[in-house]
Amino acid sequence: MGKVILEMKNITKTFPGVKALDNVNFQVEEGEIHALVGENGAGKSTLMNVLSGIYPHGTYEGDIIYNGEVCQFQKIKDSEKKGIVIIHQELALVPQMTIGENMFLGNERGTKNAINWNETYGEADKYLKMVGLSESSRVLVKDIGTGKQQLVEIAKALAKNAKLLILDEPTSSLNETDSRALLDLMLSFKKQGMTMIIITHKLNEVVYVADKITVVRDGSTVETLDCHENEVSEERIIKGMVGREITDRFPKRSGVEIGEVNMEVKDWTVFHPIYAERKVVDNVNFNVRKGEVVGIYGLMGAGRTELAMSIFGKSYGSTITGTMQLNGQTVNLKSPREAIDAKLAYVTEDRKGNGLVLGKSIRVNTSLANMKGVSQRGVIDTDQEYNVAVEYKNKLKTKTPTVEQSVGNLSGGNQQKVLLAKWMFTNPDILILDEPTRGIDVGAKYEIYCIINDLVAEGKSVVMISSELPEVIGMSDRIYIMNEGKFVGEMKASEATQENIMACIIQSTGGGDAA
């Protein structure tokens, strides 16, 4: 039994109209990794924002007791002084600056008036070593991958003398290998006595690292599970999160007949738009059948998104070679418009970046890719547009009071539904869904899976790109495995296991050039 390092007592935080946290109690012992899990909007981030002083003392009720003293943080600096450091989900690094500059941003080394660059880079290198990064701290952040950027964030936190490290979705943008490395790093920190709180949606990670798991639901802590007392399974955690047993995480598809091939891509090669000699997609061949869900599994950076976007009207890449057939006809789609007209839809992985117009309403977003469907001779029929938005809102069970709501105010799962609605309204035959469940909670994921099943039941085809193995195996009829720009395997879902898919990837990486 370690000593309790942090206790949050009876925390209540209200925003006008909503009680985000309702009498929450939360305890963390010294030297443990404590996972905080819950659906989106359950209040995890709010709780951590209260802890780190983003919501200053006085704006919430209750007490924070850290190291035996009651703390009243007014700002982030106050909590950082005590060694409580939070690493946010979105990376907060300046791409054009060096790793060293980023690490000591706001915490510069040197005298008051002048920065001591030798000390900066010297110390930066020391912390980089601690997180296992071999890069020099003089390298620009934009020149290293996302996985390494996440490690820089952690090194930055260490440089602030962190004693209690809070990681908010640290692996959401990392691939499997980098995620595993990060989790192992956390375990090694634990050995050195660091206390950590991790917020994550990925339950396999929770099971892997956590000593204790606290489940948050609807603004209250539901339970705290001790992983050392009993084995805690993912199903057990999900039960706590949604308040009921989900017997099957992937809804069954029944009676969907798989028809003939309606898309065939041959010898597809795509070059990088800037480094024109680099092949991002290398001689890929695949086909999709009517009523089929085809999974494309690959780690981030494997070229999946680039493949999808290059197919979708050449929205990515400089030189693209290869042929593409839709329903037996060879097509050459040169713009997103032509792709849409050919009944193709690409639902992006980056819904905030290039999927949705966040400042605009659900109505405007729903009709955006098919304005012809709600207008005559270029004049919008607002009533019709409204009806369409309402229809999809009901069909996809989007939770919102009205379709005039700004999309930016919706939760991730609901945003994903609006994005799906936009593409469903273009009436496509083939939908390419790029990471359709990224960053959304268990309940919403299930609903998205149901939507996918409905789509193929209508005779449409779905290409699902994902880096979550259970999802690919659970949802697909057939799976392609992609690694380093190439397709390195194809298997029926019934034959696929996590082991043989990973084996495909490891084999191809080892067999390739210097990897």
Partner 1 sequence: MASKTVNVLKKNAMLIVLVLVYIFFTIMTGGSMFQAMNFNALITQNAYVFILATGMLMCMLTGGNIDLSCGSFVCFLGAVGGVLMTVKQFGAGVSIGIMLLIGVIYGCVLGFLIAYVNIPPWIATLAGYLAFRGLGTAILSANSTTGSISLSNEETYLALFSGKLFSTPVGQLNLICLIVGIVASVLLVVLVFSTRARKLKKGYEADSLMAVILKSVLGVAAIMLFAYKLALSGGIPTVLVWVVAIVLLYSFITSKTTTGRYFYTIGDNAEATRLSGIDTRKIMFLAYLNMAVLTAVTTFIVSARFQAANSTAGTYFEMDAIAACVVGGVSAYGGSGKITGMVVGATLIGVINLGMSLMGVNADWQKIVKGLVLLGAVVFDILAAKKSTTK
Among 28, 124, 165, 339, binds partner 1 (CB under 8 A): 339
Among 201, 304, 417, 422, binds partner 1 (CB under 8 A): 422
Distance CA 295, CA 297 (A): 6
Determine the interface stretch with partner 1 among 13-21, 231-239, 287-295, 470-478 (rule: CB under 8 A). 13-21
Neighbours of 115 (CB within 10 A): 13
Q: Closest separation between CB of residue 356 and partner 1, Å?
A: 6
Q: Which two tokens stand for residue 61?
A: 């009720």
Is the CB of 307 or the CB of 456 nearer to partner 1? 307
Q: Is 515 in the site for partner 1 (CB under 8 A)?
A: no
Largest CA distance in the chain: 73
User: Which residue, among 208, 218, 234, 225, has the nearest Cα to 44 in the 3D structure?
Assistant: 218
Q: Is 346 in the site for partner 1 (CB under 8 A)?
A: yes
User: Does an H or E element contain 221, and which?
Assistant: strand 220-226
Q: Closest separation between CB of residue 239 and partner 1, Å?
A: 35
Cβ atoms 416, 351 nearer than 8 A = yes
User: Looking only at residues 357 through 386 of this chain, which bind partner 1 when binding is defined by CB under 8 A?
Assistant: 357-360, 364, 368-369, 371-372, 375, 378-380, 382-383, 386
| The one-letter amino acid at 133 | L
Q: Is 15 in the site for partner 1 (CB under 8 A)?
A: yes
User: Looking only at residues 277 through 316 of this chain, which bind partner 1 when binding is defined by CB under 8 A?
Assistant: 312-313, 315
Is the CB of 360 or the CB of 492 nearer to partner 1? 360
Is the CB of 17 or the CB of 510 nearer to partner 1? 17
CA 482 to chain centre: 19
Among 56, 83, 132, 336, binds partner 1 (CB under 8 A): 336
Q: Which two tokens stand for residue 266?
A: 């041959």
Binding mask 186-225 for partner 1 (x = CB under 8 A): ----------------------------------------
What's 277-343 look like in SS3? CCEEEEEEEEEEECCCEEEEEECCCCCHHHHHHHHCCCCCCCCEEEEEEECCEEECCCCHHHHHHCC
How many residues bind partner 1 (CB under 8 A)? The answer is 36
**Cα distances (Å, whole numbers) of residue 208 to 13, 89, 151, 170, 186:** 31, 20, 19, 14, 11
Residues in contact with partner 1 by the rule CB under 8 A: 15-17, 312-313, 315, 335-337, 339-341, 346, 348, 353-360, 364, 368-369, 371-372, 375, 378-380, 382-383, 386, 422, 426
